[in-house]
């Protein structure tokens, strides 16, 4: 099986690149701000499955650049999915918890009505709608709070800030599931194999780490696992204003993914230790 991946340097794309049979396309080869060119690549590929792991991910900047965010996160995936459908190729696409408004405390179900709070969420929802409307075999994987040893993410930010601070103020009223990028890549590869073998099921799926925790709680675990002596002070979202509103509830119910593909939510603490080990920050690591 040959998998064509749009994205090369992002967290999930980097993890996908470690798997056999995967061909990653960087921005220099496939720029999602040019949907027509990306669709043309799919029309000519000899791959068996297409995965879109590229996106506009600057949540705050999207508030002032919604047109560009929508082009990359909405128009491009729609065009790519249409090209894949015409070729009879399954199209797998990564989406986000930001398509929801974060109300309540119950984990979001795939069938819940999306109501994005900001431009980034609206752009991701546009992509979902375009992929679904393309008419081909597809899977949309919504995930949350992605972290890895690569790129920019909360774990690396905490390690950096922790080096120069004895204490940090961290938001405690946003609750979600930190999700290792390596596990997301494994899920996508598993789904791709299922489609290739004729057992794939189209639909929207959720995948987030368990147990649910706040950003402040996540930070405490990062510092504990890395052996850094940094005190975490809980603050509300209102004390840390950002251009884009963040959902307070990012919990995702992954039961449909378990039922259709036999994939259970990942233990983010295990994934955290693996990332800290790769970064050389795991406490008492003797390997």
The answer as to whether 226 is a domain residue is no
Q: Which residue has the tokens 């795939």?
A: 110
The answer as to whether 26 is a domain residue is yes
pLDDT tens column, 101-121: 999 999 999 999 999 999 999
The answer as to whether 228 is a domain residue is no
Tell me if residue 240 is catalytic. no
Global confidence as pTM: 0.96
The answer as to whether 80 is a domain residue is yes
Q: How much is the pLDDT for 164?
A: 86
Beta bridge partners of 176: 213
- The active-site residue, picked from 120, 138, 205, 207, is 120
Q: How much is the pLDDT for 40?
A: 96
The answer as to whether 167 is a domain residue is yes
pLDDT tens column, 155-208: 999 999 999 899 999 999 999 999 999 999 999 999 999 999 999 999 999 999
Q: Is the pLDDT of residue 286 over 80?
A: no
Q: Whole-number mean pLDDT of the chain?
A: 96
CATH of the domain at 77: 3.40.50.720
pLDDT tens column, 239-271: 999 999 999 999 999 999 999 999 999 999 999
Query: How far is the C-alpha of 191 from the C-alpha of 92, rounded, in Å?
Result: 8
Query: How far is the C-alpha of 10 from the C-alpha of 284, rounded, in Å?
Result: 29
Q: Is the pLDDT of residue 275 over 80?
A: yes
**Cβ pair 195, 90 in contact under 8 A:** yes
The answer as to whether 223 is a domain residue is no
Count of domains observed in the chain:
1
pLDDT bracket for residue 21 (50, 70, 90): confident
Q: How much is the pLDDT for 287?
A: 53
Rounded to an integer, the average pLDDT of 76-90 is 98
Return the SS3 of 132: helix
Q: How much is the pLDDT for 129?
A: 98
Domain that holds residue 114: 3-214+238-279
The pair of structure tokens assigned to 67 is 């047109």
Dihedral angle, C-alpha 27, 30, 35, 39, nearest 10 °? -160
pLDDT tens column, 143-154: 999 999 999 999
Q: Which residue has the tokens 């375009």?
A: 130
């Amino acid at each position: 099986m040959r998998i064509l991946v749009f994205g090369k340097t992002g967290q999930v794309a980097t993890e996908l690149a470690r798997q056999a049979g995967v061909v990653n396309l960087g921005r220099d080869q496939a720029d999602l701000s040019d949907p027509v060119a990306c669709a043309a690549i799919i029309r000519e590929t000899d791959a068996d499955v297409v995965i879109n792991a590229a996106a506009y991910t600057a949540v705050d900047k999207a508030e002032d650049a919604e047109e560009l965010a929508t082009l990359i996160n909405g128009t491009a995936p729609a065009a790519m999915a249409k090209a894949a459908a015409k070729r009879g190729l399954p199209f797998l696409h990564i989406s986000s918890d930001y398509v929801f408004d974060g109300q309540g405390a119950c984990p979001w179900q795939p069938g819940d009505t999306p109501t994005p709070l900001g431009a980034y969420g609206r752009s991701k929802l546009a992509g979902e709608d375009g992929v679904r409307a393309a008419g081909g075999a597809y899977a949309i994987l919504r995930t949350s709070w992605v972290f890895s040893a690569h790129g920019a993410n909360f774990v690396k930010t905490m390690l950096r800030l922790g080096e120069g601070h004895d204490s940090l103020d961290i938001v405690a009223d946003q609750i979600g599931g930190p999700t290792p990028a390596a596990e997301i890549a494994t899920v996508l590869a598993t789904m791709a194999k299922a489609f290739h073998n004729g057992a794939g099921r189209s639909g929207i799926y959720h995948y987030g780490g368990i147990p649910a925790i706040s950003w402040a709680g996540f930070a405490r675990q990062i510092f504990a696992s890395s052996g850094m002596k940094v005190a975490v002070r809980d603050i509300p979202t209102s004390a840390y204003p950002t251009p884009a509103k963040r959902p307070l509830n990012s919990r995702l119910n992954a039961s449909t993914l378990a039922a259709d593909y036999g994939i259970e939510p990942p233990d983010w603490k295990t994934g955290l230790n693996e990332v800290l080990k790769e970064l050389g920050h795991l406490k008492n690591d003797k390997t």
